[in-house]
Structure 1
Amino acid sequence: MTSSLTPAQRTLRAQVAAHTSWAKTTDRAARTAPARRAALARFEKQVDPEGRMTPRQRADAAESARKAFFLALAAKSAAARRQR
């Protein structure tokens, strides 16, 4: 009966399910490790698409690219809040 729920009810139901799932998770780091690895791989591929850097150089560049991405995201978020 999902179709009979309002958007607010669906949101609440999803939040309850998410919190219940996290409450049952004993090792949060292990649960999120695949996503963290994928995110790091994304930035490594972005900074060294041809694989010419040393692993250390690639890791350092990827970390800088990740920080730049999130700082830009924060700036966009702040701009959006200012407009509201």
Structure 2
Amino acid sequence: MGGKTSTASKRKYNDKTYQRIVLDVRADSQQCKEEIQQAAAQAGESLTAYVVEAIRRRMAEDGYTPGLVKKEQQDVNDQQD
């Protein structure tokens, strides 16, 4: 019975691999959770995949360059050395 070990291992992996973003939406808005879930289902995607794709598209539309944050952090680290 590896229940605790398995759970602890999964949590450790998830903590190291993923970053959480909490998203609060108004229950009485047109963008409530159920509407977003329905749109994701209609697109054949999970809720997470749907939201991440929407964010990716918005970032591209706004001209954001992927990897910029990591590059800026590396530049700061290089300056400190």
Q: Common fold, TM-score beyond 0.5?
A: no
Higher helix share: 1
**TM-score normalised to structure 1 length:** 0.30
Indicate the structure whose relative CO is greater, using CA pairs within 8 Å and at least 6 residues apart: 1
**TM-score normalised to structure 2 length:** 0.30
